[in-house]
Amino acid sequence: MGRNFLGLVLIVAAAGVSAFWAYPLWLEVGELGGTKEELTRTVNQVKDLARRRDDLLASYNSIPRQDLESLEEFFPSSPEAGLLLVNLESLARGSGLLLKTIAVSEGGELQVQPADQPQEKVSSLPFQISVSGSYAAFRSFLAALESSRRLIELDQISFDSGKAGTKESYEFTIQAHTYWRK
């Protein structure tokens, strides 16, 4: 009986030691099971995002090149102040106006945004243009600006009849801005 008792004590001792060493491992395995589920969810989210990216890329690639070029003219990826000046001069000349001055401010107003708000992806390019000519020519110029391929927003229009010198000629000053993608 002493042997059986000793064998039983050794078996219980071995089970106790195994439980003592195995319990932390058991807890770690349980934690890894939770981590595995979290990683599986993350992998599924990444796959969904990749699928969405592929769908958006396919959609973007299906847009005709001519439409993309028109969009780039309408809403360019850089300020392109030089091209804006050339377009404004061409529109003024085509409307029968004499271009007096163009002043372009290279930077739009900078606004400090709180860190929790997303950063804007659009910036403005303010400019001022002075032209002289008849009222009918000025209306034609405004119509040409409206149908221009570049997005231009007028802020203020003023006119003066004293500087131009003739009855039918006025000097018009426009303050406006255009937009571009950052």
Q: What is the pLDDT of residue 97?
A: 93
Residues (pLDDT < 70) of the chain are 1-2, 106-120, 162-166
Rounded Cα distance, 171 and 99, in Å: 10
Q: Where are the domains of the chain?
A: 1-62, 75-181
Q: What is the pLDDT of residue 112?
A: 43
> Please, are residues 174 and 128 in contact by the beta-carbon 8 Å criterion?
yes
Rounded Cα distance, 8 and 15, in Å: 10
125 forms beta bridges with 178
β-strands 122-133, 98-104 pairing: antiparallel
Q: What is the pLDDT of residue 111?
A: 47
Q: What is the pLDDT of residue 37?
A: 82
Q: What is the pLDDT of residue 92?
A: 93
> Please, are residues 100 and 131 in contact by the beta-carbon 8 Å criterion?
yes
Rounded Cα distance, 29 and 23, in Å: 10
Q: What is the pLDDT of residue 110?
A: 41
> Please, are residues 169 and 136 in contact by the beta-carbon 8 Å criterion?
no
> Please, are residues 141 and 92 in contact by the beta-carbon 8 Å criterion?
yes
Q: What is the pLDDT of residue 27?
A: 79
Q: How far is CA 61 from CA 51, 53, 67, 157, in A?
A: 15, 12, 11, 41
CATH superfamily of 75-181: Ribosomal protein S6/Translation elongation factor EF1B (3.30.70.60)
Q: What is the pLDDT of residue 108?
A: 52
Q: What is the pLDDT of residue 109?
A: 47
